[in-house]
Amino acid sequence: MTTLTNPILEGLFGNIIEDADSYKLGHYVTYPANTRFVELYLESRGGVYDKTVFFGMQYILKAYLTTPVTHAMVDEMRDTAAWHGVSFNEAGFRRIVNELDGRFPVCIRAVREGQVVPTHNVLATITNTHPDFYWLPAYLETILMRVWYPTTVCTMSWDIKQFLRRQLHATSDRAEDELPFKLHDFGSRGVSSRESAAVGGMAHLVNFKGTDTLVALKLAHLVYAADKPGFSINATEHSSHITWGRENEFASYRNALKHFGKPGGLFACVSDSYDIYNAIEKGWAGELKAELIASGATLVVRPDSGEPSLVAPRCLALLEKGFGATVNSKGFKVLNGVRMIWGDGMNRTSLRELVATVRDAGYSIENMAFGMGGGLLQKLDRDTQKFALKCCAIDVGGTWHAVAKDPVTDPGKVSKMGRQTLLRHRETGEFRSANPSEAGVNGWLDVLHMVYRDGQVVKEYTFDDIRARADVPVL
């Protein structure tokens, strides 16, 4: 593969020590005298979901924190800090280059990726491994905090998976077979950057196998050794249909059927460029019906406008009228040879409303697939799960001291005090955050694992490992 050099991307991403908030640069002088070690911990302090599915730390570590610091990076940051108006620990970073081969002297312990953990629990800790670099864990907060994004996308996707699993078990005879492709990622064009698309799209693939975000496939392979982690099908768009003109609408469908309608295969056709009801009744279930059936393919009709609770049931009824349906053992109708996908304006709330509408109309959720774009990868932020990375302990002169934030104006921001780890009971599976000294007592096991030390990733997870860990049925 040809390697392309882009000066803009190299300039933006090439200096790892620039990836910090400006005020971090001067914090090295703000610690007590004789400080030797500092420990910080990561947690979700609550939010929309009562659990988080931890994911994405391995990406951050491999993509960023394995990059050695160089003198050229220090030179650049020194000059930037000077005109930018902030202090900079040039001597400290020079020592990292000269004495530590540019490797960050920190240790990061984290819960296994894919683990479902109740909120308000420790997910990771970071501590310096050399007493002269006590200022470094907090300096790296900006980079490490970004694990909130893949974790939050993964958590939202996981929560929707649990909901759809319950709905399928209630309305379908083949729930687990249907589940992996029920939520499709349409988010690549709706996020702020290619990196966001790759990271967020990869997080979604922990739970589902349907995606149109190609860059997520590559990142999952590069970081987690994923083998063919996501799939899609041939599908049409409005632009190609309207080029035929309104009078040739059905001819445009026939052309799609000719190229995509293969025996045993699926293809999706957006059919609302003009009149979705006419397209189904007179087109797919009328003029094109015999050709569609003869092709041996399954058509996935895509309405893409209007109020879902009104449009979807009517479309399902027209498809049933044209192609017939059978009633399964759960008492719900399953269409013969056709399906429908809804991807317009979907989010966590609207998806649930649409599912309720489909069920109320007597149709199995097996008939449906759902697509989400910005609602999956973009319409969330660090406060969705109230992520925080806070200092909990400090070693001054050889003695550890517990510290915590306790603002009188916001009890929700009270932080944990003292050295931290995450314990899980070997019998009940319950989690709790505690001092590491409590590990091994009364069946409580320490479930934070060292993943990074002194510039090296020391523990890795495969995508298959993570998927299996996250696939916890909640019925």
Question: Residue 218 belongs to a domain with what CATH number?
Answer: 3.20.20.70
Instruction: Clarify whether residues 445 and 321 are in a common domain.
Output: no
Output the domain CATH number for residue 81: 3.20.140.10
CA distance 343 to 360: 20
Domain-located, residue 213: yes
**369 vs 178: CA distance, rounded Å:** 9
4 assigned to some structural domain: no
Q: Are 156 and 256 in a shared domain?
A: yes
Residue 105 placed within a domain: yes
Tokens of 37: 């070690």
Q: Which of 361, 377, 393 is the last residue of a domain?
A: 377
Same domain, 365 and 420: no
| Max Cα-Cα span within the chain | 84
User: Do both 329 and 392 map to the same domain?
Assistant: no
Q: In this structure, are residues 301 and 284 in contact, taking their beta carbons and an 8 Å threshold?
A: yes
Q: Which of 377, 409, 435 is the last residue of a domain?
A: 377
One domain for residues 136 and 250: no
- 373 and 387 together in one domain: no
DSSP 300-341: EEE--SS-HHHHHHHHHHHHHHHH-EEE-TTS-EEESSEEEE
Q: Closest Cα to residue 88, out of 152, 146, 130, 139? A: 139
3-state secondary structure of 75: helix
**Alpha carbon distances (Å) from 80 to 8, 89, 157, 234:** 17, 12, 40, 49
The percent of the chain in helix, strand and coil, each rounded to the nearest 5, is 45, 20, 35
In degrees rounded to 5, what are phi and psi of residue 6? -115, 115
Separation of alpha carbons 442 and 423, rounded Å: 11
Q: Which of 377, 401, 424 is the last residue of a domain?
A: 377
Would you say residue 26 lies in a domain?
A: yes
Q: 224 and 335 in one domain?
A: yes
- Establish if 1 belongs to a structural domain: no
Is the residue at 2 inside a domain? no
Considering the domain architecture, whether residues 69 and 166 belong to the same structural domain is answered as: no
Give the bridge partners for 363, in sequence order. 333
Answer yes or no: do 124 and 160 share one domain: no
Q: How many domains does the chain have?
A: 2
Question: Over its length of 475 residues, how does the chain's per-residue pLDDT go in tens digits?
Answer: 455 678 888 888 899 999 999 999 999 999 999 999 999 999 999 999 999 999 999 999 999 999 999 999 999 999 999 999 999 999 999 999 999 999 999 999 999 999 999 999 999 999 999 999 999 999 999 999 999 999 999 999 999 999 999 999 999 999 999 999 999 999 999 999 999 999 999 999 999 999 999 999 999 999 999 999 999 999 999 999 999 999 999 999 999 999 999 999 999 999 999 999 999 999 999 999 999 999 999 999 999 999 999 999 999 999 999 999 999 999 999 999 999 999 999 999 999 999 999 999 999 999 999 999 999 999 999 999 999 999 999 999 999 999 999 999 999 899 999 999 999 999 999 999 999 999 999 999 999 999 999 999 999 999 999 999 999 887 6
Tell me the backbone φ, ψ of residue 408, rounded to 5 degrees: -65, -25
Q: Distance (Å, rounded) from C-alpha 73 to C-alpha 59?
A: 22
Within-domain flag for 471: no
Q: Is the pTM of this model over 0.85?
A: yes
Q: 3-state secondary structure string, 228-270?
A: CCCECCEECCHHHHHCCCHHHHHHHHHHHHHHHCCCCCEEEEE
Query: Are residues 236 and 312 located together in one domain of the fold?
Result: yes
Show the domain range for 99: 9-149+382-466
Same-domain pairing of 429 and 367: no
Question: Cα-flanking dihedrals φ and ψ of residue 94, to 5°?
Answer: -60, -40
Q: Is residue 399 part of a domain?
A: yes
Same domain, 192 and 263: yes
In three state form, how does the secondary structure of 118-162 look?
ECCCEEEEEEECCHHHCCHHHHCHHHHHCCHHHHHHHHHHHHHHH
Q: In this structure, which amino acid lies at residue 271?
A: S
